[in-house]
Amino acid sequence: MTNTQIILKSKPDGNPSAENFEIASTDIPSPQDGEILCKALYLSLDPYMRGQISGRHISGTVHPGDLMRGETVSEVIESKSDVFKVGDLVMHHGGWQEFSITNSDDATLVDQRLKPYSLALGVMGMPGLTAYAGVHYLGELKPSDVVLVSAASGAVGSMVGQYALNIGCRVIGIAGSDEKCGWLRDVAGFHGTINYKNENLAEAIKRECPEGVDFYFDNVGGDMLDTVMWQLAIGARVVLCGLMAQYNTDVIPPGPNPASIIKARATVRGLVVYDFHDKKQEFLDFTIPLLDEEKIKYREDVSEGLDQAPHAFERLMKGQNFGKTIIKIS
Amino acid sequence: MTNTQIILKSKPDGNPSAENFEIASTDIPSPQDGEILCKALYLSLDPYMRGQISGRHISGTVHPGDLMRGETVSEVIESKSDVFKVGDLVMHHGGWQEFSITNSDDATLVDQRLKPYSLALGVMGMPGLTAYAGVHYLGELKPSDVVLVSAASGAVGSMVGQYALNIGCRVIGIAGSDEKCGWLRDVAGFHGTINYKNENLAEAIKRECPEGVDFYFDNVGGDMLDTVMWQLAIGARVVLCGLMAQYNTDVIPPGPNPASIIKARATVRGLVVYDFHDKKQEFLDFTIPLLDEEKIKYREDVSEGLDQAPHAFERLMKGQNFGKTIIKIS
C-alpha cells in the first residue's frame, strides 16, 4: 500500500491551474513514540493556500516540490500516543495526502456533535471561528448596524452574515453569481445581496445601505475594499481578514486611501484566526445549538477523491466554488 | 477705516505660493442682534486649509474669490450680544481678515490661564485637543508602548509625543530637519528622532523601534504611512489624522495594502477633532498644569502682519515652518 500525495509542481503565474500540481506516491510512514498515523477522510481547501504558494502568508511558504499543506479530518489507524486510540477522529494539518503522521500535541478530537464531520473544516472549523472572532470580538456589533460582507456565500462570509443576523443586524452580502445571491437571501436569510459581477458595486451599496455601512467584513481586499471604504457610515468598523484579490498577484498592490478611514472615523482591524485558538470551545458551544436549531445554514462544495484537489483549488481561486470547498478522500 | 482680507485668487497647482492669494479691502461690517464685531489678534494657519482649497476637507470648500477661512483669537470691539462684552478675548473662525462678525453662539472665551493667548490656537487649542483625543481616547496607550509620530515638531505631533512621554512611553519623532529633531530630543524630551529627509525611513524605524511600533500617530499619509505600516508590532494601534502628503495633489492616491494591517493585527482609527469638542474643557484642565510645570514644551512660528499669511502658508505646506504657524495681526 502506498501514500498518494499532491505536490506543488510549479509556482502559478496568476491564477493556479491543475497543471501546477502533480501526484506523487510514497511509502506510508510509521509513527514514532508520541505520534499517530492518520488516514484522511476530508481535506479543506482554502484561499490562504494561494498566499502560502506566493510566500506571503503568515503561516509560511510552500515551494515547488513541497507537499501542499491543509487541514484534514482523519481517522487514527495506528497510535503510539497515550492521547489518541485507533479509530479516533482527529483534526490536524495533514496536508494534501492520504496518510499523515502527527505528534499528538498537534491534533485535536473532532467534536462528536458535528454531522457530517466535514463541518469541522468549514462552518464549524477554522472558517467559522474566523467569522465568530470577527463578529463577536472585533466587530462591536449592535442590532441597529447595517452589515456588509464580501465573499458572502463562502464559509467565512456566510457565517459572518448569519452571526450578524442572530444579533439583529441588517445584513447585505456580496457574491459573484445570482445562484449564490439567491441562496444568501432565500436560505441563509440575508436582507439583501449584491452580485458584483453584474452590478456597479458603489451604486449597489448605496441602494442596499442608503445610510452607509456600519460594519464591513472584508475577505477580498483590492478594488472591492477600496469601493466599500468610501461607503462607510460614521463610526463604522471594518475587519480585514482575506486578500482574495491579491493572492494571485506577484506584487503587493496599494490599498484604500487613509482619507476614507478619517472621513468615516472608522476603526479598521486586522484579523488572524490563529489569535483566537483559545476561543474554539466557546465558539463551538455557541454555534452548535444554532446549527441544531437550523438557525445556521451552510453549503459545502464537495469533490470526491484526492486527485480532484488541484481542479477544486483552481475553481476556488476563480470563485467558481459555491460553499466550503471540501475534498472527500475516502 | 477698512477691513483688510486675504482672498484665494487661484487654485494652486501643487504646492500653494503667495501668488495664489490677493489682498482685498472692504468696509468693516456692523453686528446685528446677538452678534459681536471682533478685531483679530492672532490667526492660525493649518495644513487642513490646503484640503479646503482642494475641495476635499470635511469642513467644506474654499473657492477662488472666497475669503480664506481660519481660527482666530480676537478682541470684541462691539457687542450686540448678552454673552460677550467689549474687551473680551474670544476664539472663533474669523478667517484671514482683520475684522469679523460672529454670532455669539459660534465664539468662546479664551481661557485666561493661557499666556500668550496665541496658545489657544496651537498646543492649547484645536491642535492640542487633536493630540489629546488621539492619545487619551483612541490610542489605548500603555507605558510599555513604543510610540512613533510624524510631523513631530508641529503643534499636533509635538503634543502627541509629550502626552505619550507623560504616560511613560518610549517616543520617537519623525521630522524634516536636524534643527527640528534636535529640539524634539533636547527640549521636548523625545527618546529618538528620524530626519526623514536624509535617512532611509524603514531602516531608521528599525533602528529606533527594533521591536516594532506599538502606536503610530500619522499626520502625513502617503509613502510615509505605507512605510510605517510595515513596521508595526503585533497589536499596534494607528491613528490617522492628517494627509499632508496628498493635500497638494489633485487625485486621491491609494493607501497602504490591507495586508500590513492584517499582519500586525493592527487597529487603525480615523480622527476628526470636531468629534471631541465636548472634551475641550477636560483637555484644558489636564494640560494647563503640565504647561505650568513646564512638562509641555512648544514652539510657535509667528509672522507679524496679515499680509504675511500667504507666504507663511507656503512655508507651512513645504514643511519649512518650525512649530505652530501663527499670524500676529495687531
- Indicate whether B57 belongs to any domain: yes
Query: For B220, which residue in chain A has the nearest alpha carbon?
Result: A258
Q: Give me the average pLDDT of each 10-residue run along chain A (330 residues).
A: 95 92 96 97 94 87 97 97 96 97 95 93 95 97 98 95 98 97 98 97 98 97 95 98 80 88 97 95 96 94 97 93 93
Q: Per residue in B97-106, pLDDT tens?
A: 999 999 999 9
Identity (one letter) of the amino acid at A175? Answer: A
- Indicate the SS3 state at residue A9: coil
Residue A244 is predicted with a pLDDT of 79
Residues B94 and B154 reside in one and the same domain:
no
Closest CB to A266 among B246, B256, B270: B270
The number of folded domains in chain A is 2
Task: Find how far residue A314's CA is from the centre of its chain.
Answer: 15
Contact call for A221 and B257, based on CB within 8 A: yes
pLDDT at residue B305 tops 90: yes
A112 and A136 belong to one structural domain: no
Co-location of A144 and A87 in the same domain: no
Query: Is B78 found in the same domain as B199?
Result: no
In this structure, the answer to whether residues B187 and B265 fall within a common structural domain is yes
Which residues of chain B make contact with A54, given a CB cutoff of 8 A? Answer: none
* Contact predicate B131/B156, CB 8 Å: yes
Query: Residue B245: pLDDT above 80?
Result: no
How much is the pLDDT for A252? 79
Residue B283 in any domain: the answer is no
Residues A216, B83: Cα–Cα separation, whole Å: 46
Nearest-CA distance A77 → chain B (Å): 38
Tell whether A213 is covered by a domain.
yes
Query: Strand, coil or helix: what is B285?
Result: helix
For residue B287, being part of any structural domain is answered with no
pLDDT of residue A59: 85
Q: Report the CATH number at residue B266.
A: 3.40.50.720
| Pairwise CB contact (< 8 Å): B265 & A256 | no
* CB-closest option in B218, B226, B263 to A270: B263
Q: φ and ψ at A86, to 5 degrees?
A: -55, 135
C-alpha cell at A200: 456597479
B63: in domain: yes
Mark whether A136 and A105 lie in a shared domain.
no
Query: Per the domain annotation, does A282 fall within a domain?
Result: no
Tell me the CATH number at A316: 3.90.180.10
Q: Give B51-85 pLDDT, tens digit per residue.
A: 999 888 888 999 999 999 999 999 999 999 999 99
pLDDT at site A250: 72
My answer on whether A106 and A189 are in the same domain is: no
Give the residue numbers spanning the domain of B50: 2-122+299-328
Does residue A163 fall inside a structural domain? Answer: yes
Spatial separation of the C-alpha atoms in residues B18 and B57, rounded to whole Å = 21
Question: Per residue in B186-232, pLDDT tens?
Answer: 999 999 999 999 999 999 999 999 999 999 999 999 999 999 999 99
A75, A315, B209 from A67: Cα distances, Å: 20, 20, 37
Whether residues B247 and B319 fall in one domain: no
* DSSP labels, A108-125: EEPPTT-SSGGGGGTTTS
Mean pLDDT score of chain B:
95
**8 Å CB contact of A243 and B254:** no
Residue B280 within a domain:
no
Is B117 a residue whose pLDDT tops 90? yes
Measure CB to CB from residue B240 to each of A221, A254, A262 and give the nearest one: A262
* pLDDT confidence band for B254 (50 / 70 / 90): confident
Residues B136 and B195 in one domain: yes
| ipTM of the complex as predicted | 0.89
**What sign for the dihedral angle of Cα A170, A172, A178, A183?**
negative
Who among B241, B254, B264 is closest to A254 (CB)? B254
Per-residue pLDDT, A192: 98
Question: Is the bond leading into B47 cis (omega within 30 degrees of zero)?
Answer: no
- Mark whether A113 and A231 lie in a shared domain: no
Q: Are residues B143 and B237 in the same domain?
A: yes
Average pLDDT in the B154-164 region?
A: 96
Q: CB of A312 within 8 A of CB of A45?
A: yes
Are B102 and B133 in a shared domain? no
Residue of B nearest to A254 (CA): B257
